[in-house]
Amino acid sequence: MPSPHTLTCPSCAAGNRLPADKLSAGPKCGTCGARLAPAKPFALDPAGLKKAVKTDTLPLLVDFWAPWCGPCRMMAPEFEKAAQALAGSARLAKVNTQDFPEASGAYAIRGIPALILFSGGREVARLAGARPAADITAFARQHAPA
């Protein structure tokens, strides 16, 4: 029997525990009703990101970006495609470094877009620069624990 997953709600930051086989069934937060494993990237603030990194058992791939960044805007649709391809095996989130500059310092972001893959409470890999969906998906699958 697969181990249950713990996921942090992207809306209210509540911790939710659910069976692994329910990931594809569109689970919702027990506190606010938001989707826990959407097939598209969701926004996180630094507090939500810190909690998700610490408690989530599903790999979390985070895009650090800013609205003024041309490569970030060009990569956004590719990141959405990657989220659909990775649905059920990883969650994809975005952190706006213009709104939350402290996140850049906390995670040593030197340039954007920057992708960081978190799993098991720690950073497992990072990738800099705009990438197509196939590269993002391959990166996540290569570095996420099985």
The residues carrying an active-site annotation are: 69, 72
Taking Cα atoms as reference points, which of 79, 80, 66, 75 lies closest to residue 112? Answer: 66
Contact 13, 46 (CB under 8 A): no
Cis amide prior to 67 (ω within 30 degrees) = no
- The residues near 33 (Cβ < 8 Å, ≥ 6 apart) are none
